[in-house]
């Protein structure tokens, strides 16, 4: 009986950690999308505000992931780490390009890279983080059914 309760507790912590990381992944991705939005104000503080927001979300994900990574399976850890690394690279590159050429000149290219590269990495990480009720990873066919 105690073993079952302990296993349930671990499964619940694993599920909670995965859900929290999924939320942080989605927040960071939305932050990048917002920053690269073609509808944002080119001349105002929009770009700077969005840049700071993305930096904060990236920091939140990096720190939050580290504290929760022990509950994740190795495939999920690798996917999240890949997303974080790519996000950090994009953030640095975008900042440098904006300083060099200006926000108006680079934001459509930024939007394309975010959509193509970060979007697919986010989806991969989120699918790795989907756990079944007992904490085990669902088979791919069940994950597809859940998305439908």
pLDDT of the chain, 148 residues: tens digit per residue: 556 766 777 888 889 999 999 999 999 999 999 998 867 666 668 888 999 999 999 999 999 998 888 888 899 999 999 999 999 999 999 999 999 998 888 888 898 999 999 999 999 999 998 854 444 444 444 444 444 4
Residue 99 has what pLDDT?
92
Which pair of structure tokens corresponds to residue 60? 């939140």
Residue 135 has what pLDDT?
44
Residue 13 has what pLDDT?
87
Q: Residue 128's closest CA among 115, 119, 138?
A: 138
Which pair of structure tokens corresponds to residue 33? 């999308």
Q: What's the predicted TM-score (pTM) here?
A: 0.80
Q: Which residue has the tokens 């499964």?
A: 11
The CA dihedral of 16, 19, 20, 23, to the nearest 10 degrees, is -170
Spatial CB neighbours of 70, under 8 Å, sequence gap ≥ 6: none
Q: Residue 24's closest CA among 50, 73, 59?
A: 59
Residue 107 has what pLDDT?
85
* HSE-up (13 A, CA, CB side) for residue 145: 6
Residue 55 has what pLDDT?
97
């Amino acid at each position: 009986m105690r073993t079952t309760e302990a296993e349930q507790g671990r499964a619940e912590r694993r599920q909670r950690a995965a859900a929290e990381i999924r939320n942080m992944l989605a927040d960071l991705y939305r932050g990048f999308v917002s920053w690269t939005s073609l509808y944002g104000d080119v001349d105002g503080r929009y770009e700077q505000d969005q840049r700071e927001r993305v930096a904060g979300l990236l920091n939140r994900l990096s720190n939050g992931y580290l504290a929760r990574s022990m509950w994740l399976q190795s495939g999920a850890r690798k996917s999240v780490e890949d997303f974080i690394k790519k996000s950090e690279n994009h953030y640095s590159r975008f900042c440098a390009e904006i300083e060099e050429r200006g926000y108006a000149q680079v934001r459509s290219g930024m939007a394309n890279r975010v959509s193509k590269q970060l979007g697919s990495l986010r989806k991969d990480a989120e699918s790795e983080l989907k756990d079944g009720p007992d904490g085990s990873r669902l088979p791919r066919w069940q994950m597809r059914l859940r998305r439908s």
